[in-house]
Amino acid sequence: MPNATDTKAVIEENLKDAGFDAENTHICMEMLLRGSYDELYKFLASHRKNLLDSVHSCTKQLDCLDYLVYKLRKTEVH
């Protein structure tokens, strides 16, 4: 865990925890260094959208699996 006073390390750790790989973390840090905040916010928003799409996809898969289990149990002969 980085020292809380090391802002750069804290940001890099947060990006890593948010699922950014080394290359995309570097891109974010470069934008931050250049002061390209609008570009950085768009980049972060895009990553957030991708994560949310993954959540929705997994939720749909869980729903399908739950429905299958429900149907199988309903048709099971006791």
pLDDT at residue 77 in the model: 63
Among residues 15, 19, 18, 17, the alpha carbon closest in space to that of 30 is found at: 15
Above 90 in pLDDT, residue 29? Answer: yes
Domain boundaries along the sequence of the chain: 7-75
The pLDDT > 70 percentage for the chain reads 91
Look up residue 4 and give its DSSP letter: T
The pLDDT > 90 percentage for the chain reads 88
pTM of the full structure = 0.79
